[in-house]
């Protein structure tokens, strides 16, 4: 029996997209009606929720990322799977539907380690060596930079078993296996949702990490890359200073009361990541809790005030975005619009300052296109699940640096 046949025969599917990013503030769950696939894809967002992690699970997650044993990671994989399953069931209930109405779940999972090829550049003899060299070296990487790899937890079998719904996940690994960064993967969806004839746009997501997609007329020309930290460093500093009672700078209030420390800013911007040409990606390994703790020590030592530090880190996000545009985007494309998404799009101070830095381009948000800024990433993984089940390759080598286009995701059957 072909367990997938009932899903494959549908032109229109109901899909739940699940996403938890580097901010780890919970599981975003988007219930989406998807008609068609590839360039004929049409979506309707039915319901979106953010399902918070339980405090004990969140604390365990943060500790495991810093220094977890194999046992802890194995157990956490199942616990996070339970949390993702609960989020899926919750959004279905909120939409007043039942699990039998849902065709697929697309789960990004929770990243606990990401070491892309750009971080292993010494292993490859350069940031982006010729692909033949990359393929040749892939089997013998033993230098201090390590092996290109990525690891998302949130066991797919747990999600499928708890919900009874066929679940697709582990989207990033195939792209890394094909020589890519494994990120960003959302550019394919950004193109489907936002491309316009005769126009070039930048879709700028500002979550824990900030990433930009240049949406060109032709999908073959799309590029995308992480610009650097988004909210991650600021969020971690706020969490450290409040012992976890607060997890972000609401409306930029702390930053608005501080002044930018230009010496510290220049030091932070001197990190080699910012000078690397795309494709490139990053994560908590560079801009996570360890770096935040190092910076927070400056506050405890009274070398900088908390407000000044937050103001400086906000400026770091702004400058790294602006510098990326000036170096890698504006020289090649005439950009007509920047479309903001992610939590940063809800920070009025951030948006005001970014518009001032890049004042010759129109700004909008994904809200203006019918997708709440908080929901876009979860929607994207619903679409990626639909693409795999439709038999399509959904990575973009122009964005990730992969050697070729490959199918993304693994399928776990539900309802059997």
Domain definitions of the chain by residue range:
5-183+375-412, 188-369
Residues 5-183+375-412, CATH architecture:
2-Layer Sandwich (3.30)
74-83, 136-145, 239-248, 382-391: the lowest-pLDDT one: 136-145
For residue 233, pLDDT over 60 is answered with: yes
Helix/strand/coil percentages in the chain, nearest 5: 45, 20, 35
Task: Note the pLDDT tens digit of each residue in 313-345.
Answer: 999 999 999 999 999 999 999 999 999 999 999
For residue 129, pLDDT over 60 is answered with: no
Quick check: helix, strand or coil at residue 43? strand
Range 212-241 burial, b when 16+ CB lie within 10 A, else e: bbbbbeebeebbbbbbbbbbbbbbbbbbbb
Range 268-303 burial, b when 16+ CB lie within 10 A, else e: bbebebbebebbbbbbbebbbbebbeebbebbeeee
If you average pLDDT over every residue of the chain, what do you get? Answer: 91
- Strand pairing of 104-115 and 12-20? parallel
Task: Note the pLDDT tens digit of each residue in 157-216.
Answer: 999 999 999 999 999 999 999 999 998 889 999 999 999 999 999 999 999 999 999 999
Q: Rounded to the nearest 10 degrees, what angle do helices 289-300 and 232-241 cross at?
A: 50
Token pair of 179 as six digits: 């020589």
For residues 345 and 351, give the distance between their C-alpha atoms in angstroms, rounded to a whole number: 6
For residues 288 and 394, give the distance between their C-alpha atoms in angstroms, rounded to a whole number: 28
Task: Note the pLDDT tens digit of each residue in 25-77.
Answer: 789 999 999 999 999 999 999 999 999 999 889 888 878 877 778 899 999 99
For residues 5 and 108, give the distance between their C-alpha atoms in angstroms, rounded to a whole number: 24
For residue 275, pLDDT over 50 is answered with: yes
Q: Per this entry, what is the length of the chain?
A: 416
Which strand (E) or helix (H) includes residue 311?
helix 306-324
What was the pLDDT predicted at 136?
Answer: 42
Q: Does domain 188-369 match CATH 3.30.420.40?
A: yes
Q: What is the mean pLDDT of residues 97-102?
A: 97
What was the pLDDT predicted at 11?
Answer: 92
- When pLDDT is cut at 50, 70 and 90, the band that residue 299 belongs to is very high
- When pLDDT is cut at 50, 70 and 90, the band that residue 144 belongs to is very low
Same topology for domains 5-183+375-412 and 188-369, yes or no?
A: yes
**DSSP assignment, residue 144?**
T
- Residue whose tokens read 């608005």: 256
Full-model pTM: 0.88
Q: What is the mean pLDDT of residues 295-319?
A: 97
Token pair of 360 as six digits: 């010759």
For residue 130, pLDDT over 50 is answered with: no
Q: What is the mean pLDDT of residues 373-398?
A: 96
- Nearest Cα neighbor of 237 from 248, 222, 223 is 248
């Amino acid at each position: 029996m072909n367990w997938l046949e009932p899903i494959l025969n549908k032109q229109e599917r109901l899909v739940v997209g699940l996403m938890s990013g580097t901010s780890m503030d919970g599981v975003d769950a988007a219930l989406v009606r998807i008609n068609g696939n590839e360039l004929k894809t049409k979506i309707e967002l039915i319901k979106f929720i953010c399902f918070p992690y339980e405090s004990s699970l969140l604390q365990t997650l943060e500790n495991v990322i810093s220094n977890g044993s194999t046992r802890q990671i194995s157990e956490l994989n199942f616990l996070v799977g339970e949390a993702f399953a609960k989020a899926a069931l919750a959004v279905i209930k909120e939409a007043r539907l039942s699990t039998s109405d849902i065709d697929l779940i697309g789960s990004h999972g929770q990243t606990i380690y990401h070491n892309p090829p750009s971080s292993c550049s010494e292993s490859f003899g350069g940031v982006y060596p010729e692909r033949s060299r990359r393929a040749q070296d892939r089997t013998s990487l033993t230098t201090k930079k390590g092996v290109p790899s990525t690891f998302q937890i949130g066991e797919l079998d747990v999600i499928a078993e708890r919900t009874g719904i066929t679940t697709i996940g582990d989207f990033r690994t195939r792209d890394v296996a094909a020589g890519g960064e494994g990120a960003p993967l959302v550019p394919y969806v950004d193109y489907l949702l936002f491309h316009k004839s005769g126009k070039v746009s930048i879709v700028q997501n500002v979550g824990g990490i900030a990433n930009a997609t240049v949406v060109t007329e032709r999908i073959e020309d799309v590029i995308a890359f992480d610009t650097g930290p988004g909210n991650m460093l600021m969020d971690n500093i706020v969490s450290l200073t409040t012992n976890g009672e607060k997890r972000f700078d609401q409306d930029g209030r702390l930053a608005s009361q501080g002044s930018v420390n230009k010496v510290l800013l220049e030091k932070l911007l001197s990190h080699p990541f910012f000078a690397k040409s795309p494709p490139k990606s990053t994560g908590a390994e560079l801009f996570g809790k360890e770096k935040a703790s190092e910076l927070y020590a400056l506050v405890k030592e009274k070398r900088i005030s908390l407000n000044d530090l937050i103001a400086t880190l906000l400026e770091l996000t702004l400058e790294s975005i602006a510098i990326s545009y000036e170096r890698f985007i504006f020289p090649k494309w005439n950009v007509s619009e920047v479309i903001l998404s992610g939590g940063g799009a809800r920070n009025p101070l951030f948006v005001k300052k970014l518009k001032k830095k890049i004042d010759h381009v129109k700004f909008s948000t994904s809200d203006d296109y019918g997708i709440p800024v908080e929901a876009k990433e979860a929607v994207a993984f619903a679409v990626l699940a639909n693409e795999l089940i439709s038999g399509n390759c959904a990575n973009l080598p122009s964005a990730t640096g992969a050697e070729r286009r490959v199918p993304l995701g693994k399928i776990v059957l539900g309802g059997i």
